[in-house]
Homo-oligomer: A and B are copies of this chain.
Amino acid sequence: MKTTGKKSFSIHFWKSISSLIFQILLISLFIQTPASSQIEGRKTIKIPDILGYQTLKCDFHIHTVFSDGEVWPHVRAEEIWLEGLDAFSITDHIEYLPHKSDLQIDFNRSFELAEQRARELDLIIIKGAEITREMPPGHFNSLFLTDVSALDQPEVAQAFEASVQQEAFIFWNHPGWRQPNEVPIWYDEHTQLYQQKIMQGIEVVNYKSYYPLAFQWALEKKLTIICNSDIHSPIQMAYDLAHGEHRPMTLVFSSERSAAGIKAALINRRTVAYFNDLLIGEEKYLKALFEASVTVLNPEITFSQAKWQPLFIKNNSEIPFKLVRLSEPEPPFQSPPELTLEPERTMRFPVEGKTDGLTGDKTLTLKYRVENLLIAPEQGLPVEFKIKAIFE
C-alpha cells in the first residue's frame, strides 16, 4: 500500500560494506521510505493559444460505471488532469443502464462524485448526459445541465425539451455509428432538430472514428465541430499515453478558462477537432494554429554557389505537420516535395537556388499544403513561406 521508490535502491548499497554498519544503515534507510502512489504528473498539451483566445482542451463525452462505463467517476477527473486537458463532461446514458441491478441510479450522481476531485485539480467540469435513442435521431449529448434527471422521459422530444429548458448545448453523437459502412445518414428528424436550433453541434470524431461527411455538414450548416473520446474503459486501455498517443479532444478557443467561456465558444463555433495527428476545422483557426506553432529560423538564405542551402523550420507544438508541395517554386529555385515538421523539433530541408549569373535578392515563395490540417473533408490547409534569397 505504500511505496519504496527507486528499484535499484538496494543493489549498489549492499556491495562493499561490513555487515554491522550495513544492518544499521539498512534500518535507517527503510525508515525513510515515504508514502506515495502518484506515479507521474500532469502533461502540458503543447498547442498554442490563438487569435486572442485561450486554447482549452476539452472532452465532452465520457462514461462511468453509472451507465456502461468501467470506472468510478473520480477516475475521470484524474485521467483528465494527467493528460493535460482543461475541461470535461461526464455524459452517462439516460436510457441505457446495464449496472442498474447493482447501482442505485441517480442521474446526477456521477457528476457529484467527479466534481470534488475536479475542483481540487483545478479542472472545469460540465454537467451533461447522453440521450440514447434508436436512430433516428440516435444519440445526443446535452451539456451545461443543472438537473440530469429531468431528461429521463418516455419520449425523446421531451428529453430535448428538458435540455432546452436548462439552456443546454446539444450535439449529435457519432452520427455514423451502426449506419451502413459507418456513413452518417441525415434523417428528417435531424432536419427538425436543426431547424429548431436544438441540435447545435455534431461529433466529427468519436473515439477512433472520423466522419468526413459530418465534417462537411458542420461546415455547410454551421454546426459546431465536436471531437470526443466517448471513453468507457480506463483511458489507458484505449490510448497508449505513455508513447505519446492522446485521446480525441475538442480544442475550444475561449475568452476565459471557465465553463461560461466554453459555452460561449461552443455556441459561436470556435472549435477544432484534434484526433491523432489530424486537426479538423475552419481554415481561420487551423491557419492561426499553424502560424503560432511554426517558425522559419533562417528567412534569409544566401546562395553563393550552385548548391543546396539548408532551410531550418522549428515546430514548437506537439503536432507533427505533414506538408506536401503544391507547386514547384519559380526558377531558379527547387524545394522538397514533402516537409515533415516533427513535434518540438527543428527540421532541416534542402532548398536549391541556381546561381548562374544571378546577383541581388529574390523572393522565394514555398507553397505547400498541410495534409493533416483539414479545412474541408480531405482538403489540407494551404500555407506559404516567403524566403529572401540573396545571390552573391
Contact = CB atoms under 8 A, between A and B. Distances in A.
B39 A2 contact: no
Q: How many copies does the complex hold?
A: 4
Contacts of A8: 6, 8, 277, 322, 338, 340
A78 to B, nearest CB: 7
A24 to B, nearest CB: 8
B21 A21 contact: yes
A101 to B, nearest CB: 8
Interface stretch (A25-33, A89-97, A285-293): A25-33
Contacts of A211: 30
Nearest to A40: B342
B230 A1 contact: yes
Most buried by B among A7, A8, A236, A240: A8
Contact of A30 (B3, B182, B238): B182
B37 A3 contact: yes
A371 B324 contact: no
Contact of A238 (B37, B41, B122): B37
Contacts of A348: 38, 41-42, 81, 121
Contacts of A6: 8, 11-12, 276-277
A9 interface: yes
A183 interface: yes
Interface in A261-282: 276-278
A192 interface: no
A22 interface: yes
B337 A240 contact: no
Contacts of A101: 104
Contacts of A310: 120-121
A89 to B, nearest CB: 17
A67 to B, nearest CB: 11
A43 B378 contact: no
Contacts of A1: 174, 177, 206-207, 209, 230
A147 to B, nearest CB: 19
Contacts of A372: 11
Nearest to A343: B41
Interface in A59-84: 65, 69-72, 74-75, 78-79, 81-82
A243 interface: yes
A239 B14 contact: no
Contacts of A69: 72
18 contacts: A1-B177, A2-B36, A4-B210, A6-B276, A10-B278, A11-B371, A15-B29, A21-B25, A26-B212, A32-B181, A36-B338, A37-B208, A38-B347, A41-B345, A44-B344, A44-B345, A81-B348, A102-B109
